[in-house]
Every structure is written in C-alpha cells, then in structure tokens.
Amino acid sequence: MKKAILFNNVKKNFGKLEALKGIDLTIEEGEFFALLGPNGAGKSTLINILAGLAKPSSGSIKVMGYDVIQDYQNARRSLGIVPQELVFDPFFNVREMLRFQAGYFGKGRENDDWIDEVIEGLDLQDKANTNMRMLSGGMKRRALIAQALVHKPPVIVLDEPTAGVDVELRKKLWQFIKKLNQKGHTIVLTTHYLEEAETLCSRVAMMDQGKIVALDKTKNLLKRFSAKNLNLRLDLKGKKIPASIQKLMKNLDQHSISFLIEEITEVEFIISELKKSKIKILDMELTNSDLENVFLKLTGSKK
C-alpha cells in the first residue's frame, strides 16, 4: 500500500523549546488515524509542518510520496486540512468561497458537481448562498470542512473538528467523514475527545511533550492496558478516603469517585479499606478500559 503520510525524524525547536523531539510516523493510505495528546503536546505543530505553515528544524515529511518542501505543490494538492480555528473570508458566501478554493487548485467549472455533493453531504444547502459572516459556529465549521474537501484531496486532516460543536452536528459530521474514508480517503484526526478516537479510528498515536508515546491499533492499545474503571458513590459524611487507596484514585468529584483498576483483586482491596474506615458504598459500577486510561498511564499525568 502507498504511504499517505510519512514523518521522518521531524524535529522542531522554538528558540530553546523543543516542540517536536524527533517524530517518526507512517500513516497508510485509507487509514482512519487519530493523533491524541494533551494541550501543548505538539499535535498542532506537527500538523502545521505537514501543511507547510511551519518549517521543520530537521527531518522530512511526505504526503502521498510528495515532499512537503521540495514538491510542495503536489503535496498541498494531496492534502485537505480543516483548521482548528474558524478562519474565513467575510466577503463571500459559502459557494463562492468553495469555488475560489477549488480554483486555487486549478479546478474549473467541471468541479461544480463535486462542490454540490460536498455542500449536500455536509447539509449546507440552505446556507450555500449565505455570507460566511452570517453563519453560526457549527455552520462555519461545516463550511471549513467543505473547503478542505473541494479539491478532492486523498488525505484529509481534521484538527480538533468537534471542539465546540453540538452532539447532533458531531454525529452528522462523523457520518460524512466515515463515508469519505470508505471511499478511500485517508483521514487523520486530532482530538481531545478520547471516545471519538476510540469509536472511529483504527489506529492511534499518542503524543506527549513532543514525542510519540504510543502507536498501535486502537483495540491493541485497549487490550494492552486492560485496566478497568471502578466508579463508586460513597457516603463520606466528613470521613476521609484512606491513604492506602488514594494512589489508585483517578477522579474525584462531589458525587462519585473513580479508581483505576489493573488487577481485579484491587477491587476487593478498595472495598475492604473502605469498610475499615466505615465508609458506606451507595453505588458501584465497573466499566471497561478506555483510551483515557491508556493515556493517563502513558503520560503519567493525573488530571
């Protein structure tokens, strides 16, 4: 199979700060790939370098075999990027904006049918002749997705596409993206919402502090870290949670406490410790591992 994206030892320094510490990553054609990581992990820097908006300090990047610096025109043609921020030209309506965007890539009137298809696929028909300025946030997001697709790029990168988008739109959006993936487009996605990556993506890379800390099939990652979540609702009444089990604690809020369980015996341990401290358990739930657990484990950061 052809390589959709190839990062070869990509480094990027901003002054003394090493934003990317040597990224090696290959994404195959047709993959649905997720790039995860906390804020400041280097995801956006990596995408900017891919898009040609930033220059790598060293290393090389290829899109569909085209070097993004030497063969930038072909590389850009192969790539459609949905930016994280809502950037748009306030002078034009959606259809005009899409036609211009296609024109920059050398596509003329013959491309209008595809523009219609994209507009329909993203449910933008009613807004096709509305000025970009007048659109709601969610609609702007859709228009920007359409903008990334007008030149039919084989590789599509979505940088946090669902930040600030309501559930209904998120669902529609993913439907459309999934369809594109089935047609053979390679999809790369960065997101904070781990559950999105979990349900959509076949492979995941996790970044932290400028490095890739995990790279595997989603299900392997989940299997490898077969931890479970134990969610408890406790009747604390001013009592403190015993120190012996505090290190297993993942999350604490007013109503519930969740623990990260790696061995099932730890459940027994937690319950007996709570009993010793005479804390009553009101409710209990055991859920399967999710990417968040994997992530916490890898980055060692407790939220």
Partner 1 sequence: MINFKSELIGTWTLLKKELLRFWRVVFQTVAAPVITAVLYLLIFSHVLANHVKVYDNVEYTAFLIPGLIMMSLLQIYSFALLYVDLPILHPWVIFGFAIIGGALLGTFGIIAGIWAHRFDQMAAFQNFVIMPLSFLSGVFYSIHSLPPFWQKVSQLNPFFYMIDGFRYGFFGQSDVAPLLSLSIVTFFFIVLASITLGMLKSGYKLRS
Residues that bind partner 1 (CB under 8 A): 14, 48, 52-55, 73-74, 77, 89, 91-92, 96, 99-100, 103-108
For residue 32, count other CB atoms closer than 10 A to its CB: 21
**Around 86, how many Cα atoms within 13 Å sit in the side-chain half-sphere?**
16
Question: Which sign, positive or negative, has the C-alpha torsion 188, 136, 87, 212?
Answer: negative
Of 105 and 193, CB closest to partner 1? 105
32: which strand partners?
187
130 vs 251 by CB, closer to partner 1: 130
CB of 127 to partner 1, least distance (A): 18
**In the complex with partner 1, which residue's Cβ is closer, 92 or 193?**
92
Q: Which is closer to partner 1, CB of 47 or CB of 222? A: 47
Q: What is the CA radius of gyration of the chain?
A: 23
User: Measured from the CB of residue 267, what is the shortest distance to partner 1 in angstroms?
Assistant: 49
**Separation of alpha carbons 206 and 35, rounded Å:** 6
Strand partners, 235: 280
Q: Could you tell me whether strands 58-63 and 257-261 are parallel, antiparallel, or unpaired per DSSP bridges?
A: unpaired
Contact 290, 210 (CB under 8 A): no
The span from the CA of 269 to the CA of 59, in Å, is 49
CB of 66 to partner 1, least distance (A): 9
From the CB of 249, what's the least distance to partner 1, in Å?
40
Residue 130 beta carbon to partner 1: minimum distance, rounded to whole angstroms: 15
Residue 100 CB, nearest distance to partner 1 (Å)? Answer: 5
Cβ distance to partner 1 smaller for residue 73 or 182: 73
Smallest distance from partner 1 to CB 178, Å: 27
Element (H, E) at 158: strand 155-159
Nearest to 177 by CA among 161, 198, 163, 166: 161
Nearer to partner 1, 91 or 302 (CB): 91
Closest to partner 1 by CB, 74 vs 277, is 74
Nearest to 60 by CA among 73, 44, 75: 75
* Cα 184 to Cα 149: distance, rounded to the nearest angstrom: 13
Query: On the CB side of 300, how many CA atoms lie within 13 Å of its CA?
Result: 2
